[in-house]
Amino acid sequence: MADFVSVVEQIGAEVARASAADVDAGARFPRETFEALRAARALSAAAPAAFGGAAASVLELSRMCTALGQHCASSAMVLAMHHIQVLSIATHTAGRPELGEYLGQLAREQRLVASVTSEVGPSGDMRRSVAAVQTAGQRFTLSKQATTISYGAHADDLLITARRSPDAAPSDQVLVLAPRGTYRLVGAGAWDTLGMRGTCSPGATVQVEGEGWLILPDSFGDIATFTMVPTSHILWSSCWLGIATDAVAKAQALVRAKGRATPGVVPRAAQRLCELVRKLQSLRDEVQAIAREYDELRNARDTDRLASLSFALRINNLKLTASTLVVEIVSEALSICGIAAYKNDSPWSLGRQLRDAHSAALMISNDRIYDTNASLLLIHKGN
């Protein structure tokens, strides 16, 4: 599996890096990178071995995302979101044979899965839906207005949250798998953003008509608690770690060059580099420690701990830490590199990395997470 990480690292260095500037400039999907990832069978890395996947641990998936994120953060974020969807299906099939067959097909055909959790409406809360599944006999229909669907137009299949039925409460949600052919995307908007431009995430209305087995048997509440929320925060943070690693590598290379120009004199920038490397180290340690802890809990099926408030706080804190540190690290690297990194047409440019890094605080807004943690800390006694 270490090999898998190095294969993705190689795709990053050879394919994603070469197209990253064009992907960013055109706000276009990084198709070359995904062709290479498909050829390397990286899209089934998270699927169980029984269905033809590589059964990678979350730590290994995290390393894949970090490796790719050093070259093209949009590509890394798409890969991260895809892995999150595959884990959500694979962990919650409850032995339903059709879902097992689907995972086999995903591995054979290297299908790309996108997520539709956002929704036009008052709450902006992933754990409350407006759209509802309407069941008629063995079939169902679903229509949902999403505010963003990352790489929706480039995905094979979608995973959509909705209320269980038209009379269900907003928090009584299910997760619906919509393979290509069962859904239509209508009225997709434009995607012209500051950063993460290659994720191509405009809003659209998704209309689904399919068979009942496509509604995952576990409640979305359980899927979110045990799988989707922790793996999202771990794998997103892994992408941001990739951006930060890239920025620090550039600052280090530039300071080394200065050092070589004046042997015997430690450049002033080297002092600031110490601080930067310290921050990068704590970010890397935090991401990897929580990925390891999550893998252990998942392997031990320790649902009590996974569903505990203390673990929710820990996972939320990872998101807050990583999304804040990535902006600090890229900003400081920019300041150390100076004009060389400020120029867009320079090999040292950090413009794209800085713009991409600013998306981190918005993906589930940090304000919302602070609100949640503040409320959890009223009842939680430990720290």
Partner 1 sequence: MAYAEQGQVPTGTPVGDIRARIRSVLKEHSQLSVDVSSLADTADLYEAGMTSRASVSMMLALESEFEIEFPDTMLRRDVFESVEAIGAAVEQLLARH
Task: Kindly list the residues in this chain that would bind partner 1 in the complex (CB under 8 A).
Answer: 125, 127-128, 164, 168-172, 219, 221, 225, 304, 307-310, 372, 375-376, 378-382
The neighbour count for residue 20, using CB atoms within 10 Å, is: 23
The sheet carrying 113-116 orders its strands as 113-116, 157-163, 173-178
Reference 67, options 154, 4, 1, 155; nearest CA is 4
DSSP result, 78-111: HHHHHHHHHHHHHHT-TT-HHHHHHHHHHHHHT-
CB of residue 287 to partner 1, shortest distance in Å: 24
Q: Which is nearer to partner 1, 260 or 301 (CB)?
A: 301
As a whole number of angstroms, the distance between CA 201 and CA 72 comes to 16
As a whole number of angstroms, the distance between CA 213 and CA 137 comes to 12
Which residue has 């430990």 as its token pair? 382
Bridge partners for 265 per DSSP: none
152, two tokens: 């929706």
CB of residue 307 to partner 1, shortest distance in Å: 5
- For the four alpha carbons of 9, 351, 280 and 278, in that order, the dihedral sign comes to positive
DSSP, collapsed to helix, strand or coil, labels residue 149 as coil
As a whole number of angstroms, the distance between CA 262 and CA 113 comes to 52
Contact 103, 89 (CB under 8 A): yes
CB of residue 382 to partner 1, shortest distance in Å: 5
CB of residue 304 to partner 1, shortest distance in Å: 6
Q: Which is nearer to partner 1, 224 or 255 (CB)?
A: 224
Bridge partners for 114 per DSSP: 158
CB of residue 177 to partner 1, shortest distance in Å: 21
Which residue has 């809003």 as its token pair? 203
CB of residue 167 to partner 1, shortest distance in Å: 9
**How many whole angstroms from its chain centre is CA 238?**
8
CB of residue 174 to partner 1, shortest distance in Å: 11
CB of residue 308 to partner 1, shortest distance in Å: 6
Q: How far apart are the first and last CA of the chain?
A: 35
The neighbour count for residue 266, using CB atoms within 10 Å, is: 11
CB of residue 360 to partner 1, shortest distance in Å: 23
Q: Which is nearer to partner 1, 19 or 161 (CB)?
A: 161
Contact 110, 41 (CB under 8 A): yes
Q: Which is nearer to partner 1, 3 or 167 (CB)?
A: 167
Q: Which is nearer to partner 1, 27 or 216 (CB)?
A: 216
Q: Which is nearer to partner 1, 301 or 381 (CB)?
A: 381
Q: Which is nearer to partner 1, 71 or 319 (CB)?
A: 319
